[in-house]
């Protein structure tokens, strides 16, 4: 009788403690690894779609002169920035150039303002191209307006000349008296 009770007790202990508790522990471990894997995938996705240096996303470079891949390999290559940081740390401060001394001071102050946050030269130049196009369009409108004004001025001068001729003709015929110039406003 004690043997049967001992077997039942051992089996219940085995099922409860070993199988259920170990499954809970393994479930927590597997779930933790799944979370770590998904976090790693999320970080990789961010690195694939966001520039490490400036933080601009891939979609900002759609329909621009420079693709996102060209941007992260040439304009904002993270290794170039790392090499520059190492250069600033290794180089003698008395031999710094202007930009190197500026960056060294910013590093000493733990200030990251020297990084081009949310800016890229290729996007600035393409925005500049848009501004240039706008300026060119405004210049064309200004030129056409100036041409129109000069045309209207010449027509006005022509009309003035014709009016003067008609007035002279009417004076000769005696319809009008002598031309009167009104200087009353200018003398007061």
pLDDT, tens digit, for every residue of 160-169? Answer: 999 999 888 8
pTM (global) more than 0.75: no
In this prediction, what percent of the chain has a pLDDT beyond 70? 88
Average pLDDT over residues 71-97: 91
Q: Is 103 exposed, middle or buried (0-12, 13-18, 19+ CB in 10 A)?
A: buried
List pLDDT tens digits, range 85-126: 999 999 999 999 999 999 999 999 999 888 888 888 877 765
pLDDT at site 126:
54
């Amino acid at each position: 009788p004690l043997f049967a009770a001992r077997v039942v007790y051992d089996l219940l202990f085995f099922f409860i403690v070993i199988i259920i508790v170990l499954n809970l522990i393994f479930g927590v471990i597997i779930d933790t690894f799944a979370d770590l894997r998904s976090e790693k995938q999320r970080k990789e996705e961010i690195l694939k779609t966001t520039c490490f240096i400036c933080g601009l996303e891939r979609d900002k470079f759609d329909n621009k002169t420079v693709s996102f891949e060209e941007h992260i390999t040439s304009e904002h290559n993270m290794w170039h920035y790392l090499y520059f940081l190492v250069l600033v740390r290794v180089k003698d401060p008395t031999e710094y150039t202007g930009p190197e001394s500026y960056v060294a001071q910013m590093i000493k102050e733990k200030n990251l303002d020297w990084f081009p946050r949310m800016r890229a030269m290729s996007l600035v130049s393409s925005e500049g191209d848009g501004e240039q196009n706008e300026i060119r369009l405004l210049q064309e409108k200004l030129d056409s307006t100036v041409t129109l004004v000069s045309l209207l001025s010449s027509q006005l001068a022509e009309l003035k000349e014709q009016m003067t001729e008609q007035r002279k003709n009417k004076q000769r015929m005696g319809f009008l008296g002598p031309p009167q110039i009104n200087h009353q406003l200018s003398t007061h």
